[in-house]
Amino acid sequence: MSKEKKKLKKEGAVRSDEIKERHSKAIALAARTSPDLSKLQKVRIDNSTYIYVGLDKDPKVARERFIEKMNPRTQAIRYRNYDTKDSY
C-alpha cells in the first residue's frame, strides 16, 4: 500500500523536482537577460540608490540626468531639491 502512495503524483503541493526545474529555468533566464556588470560602472545617487552606466559614460552626467528625470515625479519626494552637483 505504501509503495502505491509513493508512485501517485501529488496534487497541489510543489515537489522538490519541480522546485529544481523552476530554479534552473530562472537561472537560465537571468543568464540570458541580465547585463554583464563588469562592463558597467556603479554610480551613487544617494545612500540607498545606485545606477549602472557604461564604462565610456560620464558618471557625473549620468547622475544629473537621473535626478533631473526623477524630480518631476510626484511620488519620488526624496529626489526633490537634490542638487545635481557632484556631492557624492
Distance separating alpha carbons of residues 54 and 82, to the nearest angstrom: 23
74 or 66, greater pLDDT: 66
Q: Where are the alpha helices (DSSP H) in 1-88?
A: 2-7, 16-33, 59-70
pLDDT tens digits, 18-59: 888 999 999 999 989 888 889 999 999 988 889 999 999 999
User: What's the whole-model pTM score?
Assistant: 0.53
pLDDT tens digits, 5-25: 555 566 666 688 888 899 999
Give, in order, the Cα–Cα distances in Å from 64 to each of 5, 69, 79, 84: 63, 9, 11, 5
Contact 66, 76 (CB under 8 A): no
Backbone angles phi, psi at 53, to 5 degrees: -130, 165
